[in-house]
Amino acid sequence: MKYSERLKPCPFCGKKAEFRTNTTGTNGENFKYRFNIRCRNCGMNSSHIYGVEITFRNGDFVIIEDESDKAVEEWNRRAEDGKTD
């Protein structure tokens, strides 16, 4: 399943959220993406900027850092999670 398909709707308006790339860059060896999650409708953003960093070694792409799971987990967290009445 794609990461975007795992996102819950926006907690404020209930519409679809998406990953939004904020910056990209390279240090000459590694390529870095910085992103957050944003509601397509109301523009509410996740409060944290997450990262993915990759490099290319000996013919293979190698993931150095990938915070995509963390981004989905934090976006999907709701105040009522885990509460029972």
DSSP for 8-77, written as a single string: PPPTTT---EEEEEEEEEE-SSEEEEEEEEEETTT--B-SS-EEEEEEEETTEEEEEEE-HHHHHHHHH-
pTM of the model: 0.84
Q: What is the CATH number of the domain that holds 21?
A: 3.10.450
82 within a domain of the structure (yes/no): no
33 within a domain of the structure (yes/no): yes
pLDDT digits (tens, 9 = 90+) for 7-41: 999 999 999 999 999 989 998 889 999 999 999 99
State the total domains in the chain.
1
Write out the residue range of the structural domain in which residue 34 sits: 3-76
